[in-house]
Structure 1
Amino acid sequence: MDKIVVFETYYNPIEANIIKSKLMDADIQCFLTDENIITLNPLYTQALGGVKLHLFEKDVDLARSILQETIPTPETSEEEKGEYVCPECGSHNVGYVQATKRRFSILTMLVSIFLLVYPFSVKKVHHCFNCLHEYD
């Protein structure tokens, strides 16, 4: 009888399902545990130890080799990749996120104070995670 082992644990159920699907496509039988409870209540992730991917012990080496394969991609320029470059430091570590410095406009703040609610409109900007510069 083959022994079933915990191959890996994931803190994101979506990532676990992607890996499971990739292994199932390669005819490696596997299943996930604790997926449903963590999907329903993500706060249980640490308590349960994440989503566990189980498979047969004989398939561990094959699974590792499948997951280490990388698909070669053609070279593309920076404009085609859609990457942004920070004008201050030249870093590519830039994301389009909620503003940290000037979050709310004056109109949003006035309406929020008048209605006694948290500001409902938030400004999004390009934010460099290296030098913390924000730009539109």
Structure 2
Amino acid sequence: MDKIVIFETYYNPIEASIVKERLIDSGIQCFLSDENTITINPLYNQALGGVKLHLFERDVEAAKSILQDEDVQIHLKEVTDAEEEAPVDVQSTEICPNCGSAHVGYVQATKKRFGIFTMIISLLLMVYPFSAKKTHHCFNCEYEF
């Protein structure tokens, strides 16, 4: 009976899944543990020690050689807040009057989302306001117009 060992741990569940699939495609049997828990509640990531990739002890050297191959390097793009793209479905051709950026979308308002009439009706019916305003929002300077 072969011994199952923890090959690597990942703090990014997506990266762990990519590595797992690469190894399975190469014929190495492996599985992930704690993936669902960390995906559902990312705050448990540090407490659980990340997503663990398990495989048979006999496959460790083969897995190392597969992952060291330059053709299968995993590079996840680091996105900063300034580079963050607006979702494709909310992009528009509007230009922000505050900063002149074209990084503008027509989305649910973040400031003054509900009108006074909506607030009164929702207060009387004791429900969450059902109608929210939509406005153009600049993703660079956070200005709404």
TM-score (norm 2): 0.55
Contact in 1 for aligned 2:109/2:133 (Cα 8 Å): yes
CA shift, 1:102, in A, is: 2.4
CA 1:18–1:33 in structure 2 vs 1: closer, same or farther (change >3 Å)? Answer: closer
Q: Secondary structure at the match of 2:11?
A: strand
Does 1:52 find its partner at 2:52? Answer: yes
CA 1:96–1:43 in structure 2 vs 1: closer, same or farther (change >3 Å)? Answer: farther
CA shift, 1:23, in A, is: 4.2
Contact in 2 for aligned 1:16/1:51 (Cα 8 Å): no
Contact in 2 for aligned 1:104/1:122 (Cα 8 Å): yes
Unaligned runs of 5+ in 1: 71-80
Q: Pick one of 70, 74, 79 that aligns with 1:68.
A: 74
Q: Secondary structure at the match of 1:60?
A: helix
CA shift, 1:45, in A, is: 3.9
Q: Which deviates more from structure 2 when the two are superposed, residues 25-34 or residues 50-59?
A: 50-59
Distance of 1:21 and 1:133 partners within structure 2: 42
Q: Pick one of 79, 91, 95 that aligns with 1:87.
A: 95
Contact in 1 for aligned 2:101/2:138 (Cα 8 Å): no
Computing the radius of gyration from Cα coordinates, the structure with the larger value is 2
Q: Pick one of 8, 11, 17 that aligns with 1:9.
A: 11
Count of matched residue pairs: 121
Identical aligned pairs, as a percentage?
50
Q: Deviations over 1:89-117 (max 9, x none)?
A: 3253x556542112113332122111223
Contact in 2 for aligned 1:8/1:54 (Cα 8 Å): no
Q: Secondary structure at the match of 2:64?
A: helix
Q: Secondary structure at the match of 2:118?
A: helix
The AA in structure 2 aligned to 1:99 is A
The AA in structure 2 aligned to 1:130 is N
CA shift, 1:131, in A, is: 0.8
TM-score (norm 1): 0.57
Contact in 2 for aligned 1:96/1:127 (Cα 8 Å): yes
